[in-house]
Amino acid sequence: MKIAVIGATGYTGAELLRILSMHPRVEVSVLTSDSSAGKSIAQLYPHVRDIYKHTLQQADPAEIAKQADLAFVALPGGLSSGIVPGLIEAGLKVIDLGGDFRLPAPLYETWYKKQAPPVELQQQAVYGLSEWYAEEIAQANLITNPGCYPTATLLGLLPLVKNGLIELDSIVVDAKSGVSGAGKALSLNTHYPEINENLKAYKLGVHQHIPEIETQLARVAGEDVTISFTTHLVPMVRGILTTSYARLKDRWTTRDLLDLYQQVYEGATFVRIRPEGEFPATKEVATSNYCDIGLYVDERTRRVTVISVIDNLVKGASGQAVQNLNLMNGWDEATGLGFVPVYP
């Protein structure tokens, strides 16, 4: 199967290159970058020297369709909607790693402050949370790959919501991310001396992942859900850890909830439930497609705390995208993703 990576020079693009080079059933045939077209990828990313010898192309859907069967679109926010319609029309399957297709138009315009993509296409896009929507994904032509924070948060909370165990208005999600989540664009907020030995909260109340999480929780809950959600920037390159708090409707023990999670994720290669008393660290999933989950029930407050960790560039972006590629093709979901976390 021939693959195009649209926007190969950002971090999610680079991560796709890393992952796809080890995938036994695909060949990367096209790399595009509008700003660096004509250069070799190794000029921009010396780490792929000798591994990728491609020259970067302009992103022209008709040309891409001649050379590839499926396109990963890894463009900065708001740019996917410019090219995805053309790619679909040209007959390609598309996995979009941006946020353009994740929300219904009115929510999108409210939170992203941009014009929404064509409604029809947005409605046709399947939300690619692999462990929860594998069947729909298998049928899709257009996948809208989940955001990094939503992936960690939803994998951690959906078992509770699905089973009606928590008070829906009690959810507080405190989320922390490494800096690669902010991408490759330069900003004082990601300038090394500003970030190292520093920790800060950002985008309080306005982060565009809030409506994405709420939409997906509501879909499973069958009713509206509103959450408190705060994001923090942590001085590390990779990793997301979400700490989610919710009030249990009934008294559950930690052990019983862990059993429930084990059942919910039975057969899911990439979700690992930790034993009682053990909580995952981001490094324990680094560079891999795993989402590890630990939880704790505080009997004093009747709240459950769920700790969920991913590598934001893998399960939070490019890895899950490849997992979705596998599902779309009827391959084992772990094909080409069987690498062990890098530790330490």
List all residues 6 or more positions away from 66 whose beta carbon is below 8 Å from its beta carbon: none
DSSP state letter for 112: H
Of 72-80, 122-130, 294-302, 318-326, the segment contacting a second copy by CB under 8 A is 294-302
Q: Which of 105, 237, 329, 335 binds a second copy (CB under 8 A)?
A: 237
Q: Is 300 in the site for a second copy (CB under 8 A)?
A: yes
Q: Is 298 in the site for a second copy (CB under 8 A)?
A: yes
| CA pseudo-torsion sign 189, 193, 195, 200 | negative
Residue from 5, 8, 14, 264 binding a second copy (CB under 8 A): 14
Cα separation, 218 vs 50, whole angstroms: 47
Residues 310-339 within binding reach of a second copy (CB under 8 A): 338-339
**Can you read off the two tokens belonging to residue 272?**
């690992």
Q: Are strands 291-298 and 303-310 parallel, antiparallel or unpaired?
A: antiparallel
Q: Which of 83, 88, 126, 148 is catalytic?
A: 148
Angle at alpha carbon of residue 339, lines to 255 and 29, rounded to 5°: 135
Q: Please identify, using beta-carbon distances, which residue of 82 and 106 lies nearer to a second copy.
A: 106
Residue 22 within binding range of a second copy, rule CB under 8 A: yes
Interface with a second copy (CB under 8 A), residue total 83
d(Cα 220, Cα 242) in Å, to the nearest integer? 20
CB of residue 7 vs a second copy: minimum separation in angstroms? 16
Closest CA to 261 of 233, 291, 237: 291
CA contacts within 13 A on the Cβ side of 137: 27
Do residues 53 and 67 touch, judged by C-beta distance below 8 A? no
Select the residue interacting with a second copy from 8, 17, 31, 83 (CB under 8 A).
17
- Give the nearer residue to a second copy in terms of CB position, either 66 or 113: 113
Judge whether 148 counts as a catalytic residue.
Answer: yes
Instruction: Specify the stretch interacting with a second copy by CB under 8 A; choose among 91-99, 140-148, 149-157, 233-241.
Output: 233-241
- Residue 200 binds a second copy, judged by CB under 8 A: yes
What are 31's strand-pairing partners?
5
> Taking the chain, what is the end-to-end CA distance rounded to the nearest angstrom?
34
Nearer to a second copy, 86 or 235 (CB): 235
Q: Which is nearer to a second copy, 1 or 236 (CB)?
A: 236
- Report which DSSP code applies to 73: E
For a second copy, the binding residues in 40-69 under the rule CB under 8 A are 45-51
Stretch that binds a second copy, among 11-19, 58-66, 103-111, 141-149 (CB under 8 A): 11-19
Residue positions annotated with a catalytic role:
148
